[in-house]
Amino acid sequence: MFNKKKKLILALTTLTILSVSTAMERHHTNHTTTEIVINNPWVRSAPPNAPALGLFMQINNNTDHDIKLLSANASGYKRIELHRSVVQGDMMKMVKQEFMPIPAKGKLHLKPGSWHIMLINPESVPRKGDTVIIDLIFDNGLSKTVHAQVRKGKKMTGNHHRMMH
Amino acid sequence: MNNKLLSGIGVVALVIAIFYFYWWNINTSSNKNYQDLTKQLKVSHIIHNPDKKLLSFSLVDHNNNKFDNNNFKGKWTLLSFIYTHCPDICPTGLMDMSILKSTLIKRDVNIVPSLVAITFDPARDTPSVLKTYVTHFDKDFLGVSGDQVQINQLIRPFGTYYERVIYAKNGKSTVLKNDEPLPKDALESGYLINHTAWIYLLSPDGQIFAGFPAPHNPIKMADDIELFIKNY
C-alpha cells in the first residue's frame, strides 16, 4: 500500500519535471523565432494541371535591421522563385526578384497582384484545404518553416485594393 | 424652262439634305446613347465602334471544335486573354469573371454571359490543357487555343498586347515581342508573359462592346453591364 503511494508520487514528480522542461523548451524556441513572424501564409488553390502556383503571406521583421528573404524551398516542385507583379501602363509584368526586402521593424505583404512566391511545376497540385510546407531562408542566417493552407483566393465581398499603383 | 431648272435644283438639294440628315442621324444615334452612358459608368470603357469590326478568325475551343466569329454572335460574352503558366494575374481575372457571371444572373437583366478565355500561349496551352485549367474557375468557361498568328491578329482591335520574357540561369531576362519566334530551349526552360489584363464584353452582334481594366471589381462591372444591356 505504502509502496504504491511512493511509486505514484515518483511518477507524478517525473511527469511534472518533464512537462516543465518541455514548456521551457517551447518558450525558448518561441523566443528565438519572434525576430521574424509569418502571418497568414496561404497558397491559392489552382486547377489540377496548373503549371505554377502563388504563395502569399505577411512577413514581419521585428529586428532593428533590414532583412532579405533569399529563397524558399519545398519538395515536389521543379523550381521556386520570388516574384513581383507590377503594373506598367496597361501591362501586367511578372518580375523575377533576387530577394524580397523586409524593412527593420516593418513587414512585407505578399499578396495577389504584388509580391508572391511562385511554385513552379508541382509534381501534384495541392487541393483546397491541403497544407504546403515550405522553408524560407533569410540573409541573417535564420530560416523559417511555414505551413501554408491551400484556399480560394477571394471572397465575393472581398476588397479589391490589391493592385499597386 | 427656268422654273424647271430651279425645281430640279431644289429636288437635288432636298435629296442631298435628306441623305445628310439620315447619315448624321445614323452616325450619332448609334454612338450617342453610349456616349451619354459614359458619364454613368463606374469601371468600364466603351470600345464599341461600328466602323471597326473584328476581322474573321478561326481558332479551336477546348473540346477541339472550331471557334470563330460566329461563336460571339447571339449572346453577350465575357472574354479575357490568358496563359496557364500565369500564377497571379490570370487566375485572379478568371475568378473575377466567374463571380461577374453569377452576379449578372442574379440581376434584373437576367443574362447568362458566355465565359471565354483565349490563350496567348497556344504552344503550351493546347485545348486539353485549357479545358482542365479554365473549367476549374467555372464549369461554363470555354478555353480557346489555335494558331499563334491568328491569335496575334485577333487581339489587336481589343488593344491587348503581350511579350514573352525568358530568364537565363544568371538571372538576365530577354524580352520577345509576340511575333518573334521562341528559342528552341524556351519550352524546356520556361518563360513568362507580360500582358494587358482587361476583361472584355462582346455584344450579341459579335463585336467588342466594352472593356474593363484590372484590378477588377465584379460588382461594379455588373452595374455597368446592366446599364449597357438596358440601353442596347
> Strand runs (DSSP E) across chain A, as ranges?
36-44, 52-61, 67-73, 77-88, 91-97, 100-102, 106-110, 115-122, 131-138, 143-151
- B124 to chain A: closest CA residue: A51
Rg (CA), chain B: 23
Lowest mean pLDDT among A8-12, A78-82, B19-23, B101-105: B19-23
Rounded distance between C-alpha atoms, residue B20 and residue B32, angstroms: 17
Distance between terminal CA atoms of chain A?
78
Tell me the ipTM for this assembly. 0.79
pLDDT value at residue B25? 52
pLDDT value at residue B39? 86
Task: Indicate the burial class of B32 (C-beta count within 10 angstroms; 0-12, 13-18, 19 or more).
Answer: exposed
pLDDT value at residue A29? 44
Q: Choose among A92, A116, A162: nearest Cβ to B197.
A: A92
* Stretch (H or E) spanning B128: helix B127-134
pLDDT value at residue A14? 67
B177 touches chain A (CB under 8 A): no
Phi and psi at residue A127, to the nearest 5°? -95, 165
B45 touches chain A (CB under 8 A): no
Q: Choose among B99, B133, B167: nearest Cβ to A47.
A: B133
Q: Do A116 and B124 touch (CB under 8 A)?
A: no
Q: What angle do CA A89, A95, A98 make, to 5 degrees?
A: 145
- A93 to chain B: closest CA residue: B194
pLDDT tens-place values along chain B, 232 residues long: 577 777 888 888 777 777 666 665 554 444 556 878 888 899 999 998 888 889 999 999 999 999 999 999 999 999 999 999 998 999 999 999 999 999 999 998 878 999 999 999 999 999 999 999 999 999 999 999 999 999 999 999 999 999 999 988 887 889 998 778 888 888 888 899 999 999 999 999 999 999 999 999 999 999 999 999 988 8
Q: Which residues of A touch B167 (CB under 8 A)?
A: 96
Global pTM reads 0.80
Q: How confident is the model at residue A154 (pLDDT cuts 50, 70, 90)?
A: low
Average pLDDT over residues A128-157: 88
pLDDT value at residue A17? 63
Cell of B125: 496551352
Q: How far is B91 from chain A (nearest CA, A)?
A: 8
> Mind listing the pLDDT tens digit for each residue in B127-142?
999 999 999 999 999 9
Rounded distance between C-alpha atoms, residue A108 and residue B48, angstroms: 42
Q: How far is B45 from chain A (nearest CA, A)?
A: 13
A37: pLDDT strictly greater than 70: yes
Rounded distance between C-alpha atoms, residue A117 and residue A81, angstroms: 6
Do the beta carbons of residue A50 and residue A122 sit within 8 Å? yes
- B162 to chain A: closest CA residue: A91
A3: pLDDT strictly greater than 90: no
Rounded distance between C-alpha atoms, residue B210 and residue B202, angstroms: 7
Average pLDDT over residues A122-140: 96
Q: Which residues of B touch A118 (CB under 8 A)?
A: 87-88
Q: Do B85 and A96 touch (CB under 8 A)?
A: no
